[in-house]
């Protein structure tokens, strides 16, 4: 047909062997890289979470994790399921209990918004908000974490009655959040996540003496 | 298939290194790897990180493929190359996650998608498999620099126009009204289109 001279066809054994060896070596490399980087990756995630908790509950000096077991929260012992519902108790100077940092997530304009907010049960107010992950539109929806004015809406926000978003500049009641003009969907999404978590979790949070004591010095 | 190794020729090595940076620039001339070129160039730092990650993968894969090329039967060569590239991308992914979590979060899924960047498989197939390791690495380095350069151009332009900043530093102060569309997906197409047009105009003019 043509004057092309094709090299002889190698046996299928050789083909299988080549791919097997390539796969084995690749597997070894991946396992090695995973084992080497995993501790750092986990430490990064823990540090990021710690920073976020310290920010949403102002004055925090120490924190510990609580997980939902049945109908109430108990201290996490490290053996809980990875997807267990968790909140973080935050303590200030001298181990005084300050409040809880509550994670939440829900659909935003483009993708899931993940956030963490601080809640002070004594005053029944939200005391801080941090957006952990979002892919909202640059310049518009990303104001939920880039616009400091929106963040300030969540520094003393009553949770009863349920938080509502109002048109920018018209918020007067303590449970009103001024929406961001141009980012209505994103600001409503943030508030919806908060309201859902509040309805779901606030009644189950430990109160009074049931709140775990502050962790010993240097503990997580 | 079997070519005798050419004698080490400094001018050839130089040629292989330089060609990818400008004359055969992977993004602007060969128009390869358009997915990351458009997707992650909304800020200069993202573009630089993506370009560097791609360059590391490209250099390692070219070196490995140049070394093993002779032992891999023709029928399974593409699958073997893809295994090599996917492994390297995952290693880079883990490393970045450990060393620069913020950058890793920004690049997101596009980091893993370096695997399917046709630039990498293209260089493996077109160059690395047929050339000695030294030249393969030089070729990859040149192409990698060219790709990073192209991405950075786009990223800097889009960040300045669409966000009024460069590498995160505010340039124009609060009175600047950012041209938001530039950091959105359409802005990527617009800027890339204009740059490709310029390259094409100058290319044609030079040829005639």
Angle between helices B77-99 and B44-68 (to 10 degrees): 140
- Inter-chain contact B183–A48, Cβ cutoff 8 Å? no
| Beta-strand pair A176-178/A164-166 | parallel
- Inter-chain contact A33–B91, Cβ cutoff 8 Å? yes
Q: Is the pLDDT of residue A210 over 70?
A: yes
The verdict on residue B6 lying in a domain is no
Range of the domain at B194: 12-169+176-207
CB-CB contact of B82 with B121 (8 Å): yes
The DSSP secondary structure of B53-102, one letter per residue, reads: HHHHHHHHHHHHHHHHGGGS-GGGHHHHHHHHHHHHHHHHHHHHHHH-HH
Confidence band of A220 (pLDDT split at 50, 70, 90): very low
The pLDDT of residue B92? 93
Tell me how many degrees the CA angle B149-B166-A129 measures, rounded to the nearest 5: 125
Considering only residues B76 and A71, tell me which one the structure prediction assigns the higher pLDDT. Answer: B76
CB-CB contact of A72 with A207 (8 Å): no
Substitution target from B96, B98, B181 for chain A, most A beta carbons within 10 A: B98
The verdict on residue B2 lying in a domain is no
The verdict on residue B1 lying in a domain is no
**Å between A150 CA and nearest CA of chain B:** 18
Q: Spell out which residues of chain A touch residue B42, defining contact as CB-CB under 8 Å.
A: 138
The pLDDT of residue B7? 54
Q: Model ipTM?
A: 0.79
Q: Is B136 helix (H, G, I), strand (E, B) or coil?
A: helix
Q: Does A59 touch chain B (CB under 8 A)?
A: no
Distance CA B142, CA B15 (A): 10
Name the pTM for this structure. 0.81
The verdict on residue B4 lying in a domain is no
The verdict on residue B3 lying in a domain is no
CB-CB contact of B151 with B39 (8 Å): no
Among B74, B94, B178, select the one facing A37 at the smallest CB separation: B94
**Å between B21 CA and nearest CA of chain A:** 30
Q: In angstroms, what CA-CA distances link A215 with A88, A167, A220, B6?
A: 12, 42, 7, 69
The pLDDT of residue A55? 92
**Å between A138 CA and nearest CA of chain B:** 7
Q: Does B64 touch chain A (CB under 8 A)?
A: no
Tokens of A121: 């049960």
Q: Spell out which residues of chain A touch residue B91, defining contact as CB-CB under 8 Å.
A: 29-30, 33
- CA–chain centroid gap for A168, Å, is 27
Q: Does B97 touch chain A (CB under 8 A)?
A: yes
Q: Does B185 touch chain A (CB under 8 A)?
A: no
Among B79, B94, B162, select the one facing A19 at the smallest CB separation: B79
The verdict on residue B99 lying in a domain is yes
Provide the number of structural domains found in chain B. Answer: 1
Averaged pLDDT, A99-121? 92
pLDDT, one tens digit per residue, over B131-154 is 999 999 999 999 999 999 999 999
Over chain B (208 residues), what is each successive 10-residue block's mean pLDDT?
57 88 88 88 90 94 92 90 94 92 84 89 90 93 95 94 88 84 90 92 85
Q: pLDDT averaged over chain A?
A: 87
Q: Does B165 touch chain A (CB under 8 A)?
A: no
Distance CA A162, CA A199 (A): 9
Q: Does A19 touch chain B (CB under 8 A)?
A: yes
Q: Spell out which residues of chain B touch residue A19, defining contact as CB-CB under 8 Å.
A: 76, 79-80, 83
The verdict on residue B144 lying in a domain is yes
Nearest CA in chain B to A21: B80
Cβ contacts from A onto B, under 8 A? 69
Q: In angstroms, what CA-CA distances link A43 with A50, A101, A128, A211, B135?
A: 10, 19, 24, 27, 40
- Inter-chain contact B98–A18, Cβ cutoff 8 Å? no
Averaged pLDDT, A26-51? 94
Q: Which residues contact A28 (CB under 8 A, 6 or more apart)?
A: none
């Amino acid at each position: 047909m043509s004057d092309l001279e094709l090299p002889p066809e190698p046996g299928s054994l050789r083909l299988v062997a080549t791919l097997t060896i390539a796969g084995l070596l690749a597997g070894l490399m991946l396992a090695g890289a995973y084992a080497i980087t995993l501790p750092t990756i986990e430490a990064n995630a823990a540090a990021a979470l710690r920073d976020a908790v310290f920010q949403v509950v102002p004055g925090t000096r120490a924190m510990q994790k609580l997980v939902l077991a049945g109908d109430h929260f108990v201290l996490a012992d490290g053996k809980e399921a990875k997807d267990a519902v968790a909140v973080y108790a935050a303590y200030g100077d001298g181990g005084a209990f300050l409040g809880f940092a509550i994670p939440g997530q829900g659909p935003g304009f483009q993708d899931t918004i993940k956030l963490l907010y601080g809640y002070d049960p004594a005053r029944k107010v939200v005391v801080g908000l941090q957006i952990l992950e979002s892919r909202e539109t640059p310049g518009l929806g990303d104001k939920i974490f880039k616009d400091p004015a929106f963040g300030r809406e969540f520094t003393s926000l009553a949770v009863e009655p349920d938080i509502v978003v109002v048109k920018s500049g018209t918020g007067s009641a303590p449970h009103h959040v001024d929406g961001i003009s141009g980012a209505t969907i994103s600001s409503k999404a943030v508030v919806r996540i908060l309201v859902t978590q509040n309805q779901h979790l606030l009644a189950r949070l430990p109160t009074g003496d049931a709140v775990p004591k502050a962790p010993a010095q240097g503990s997580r | 298939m079997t070519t005798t190794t050419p004698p080490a020729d400094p001018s050839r090595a130089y040629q292989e290194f330089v060609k990818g940076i400008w004359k055969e620039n992977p993004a602007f001339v060969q128009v390869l790897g358009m997915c990351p070129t458009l997707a992650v160039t909304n800020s200069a730092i993202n573009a630089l990180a993506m370009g560097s990650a791609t360059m590391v993968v490209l250099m390692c894969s070219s070196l490995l493929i140049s070394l093993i090329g002779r032992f891999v039967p023709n029928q399974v060569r593409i699958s073997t190359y893809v295994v090599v590239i996917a492994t390297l991308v995952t290693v880079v992914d883990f490393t970045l996650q450990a060393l620069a979590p913020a950058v890793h979060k920004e690049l997101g899924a596009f980091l893993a998608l370096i695997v399917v960047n046709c630039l990498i498989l293209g260089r493996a197939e077109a160059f690395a498999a047929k050339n000695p390791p030294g030249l393969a690495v030089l070729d990859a380095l040149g192409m990698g620099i060219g790709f990073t350069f192209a991405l950075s151009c786009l990223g800097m332009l889009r960040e300045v126009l669409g966000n009024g900043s460069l590498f995160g530093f505010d340039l124009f102060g609060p009175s600047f009204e950012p041209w938001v569309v530039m950091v959105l997906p359409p802005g990527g197409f617009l800027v890339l289109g204009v740059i490709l047009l310029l390259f094409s105009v100058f290319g044609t003019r030079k040829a005639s």
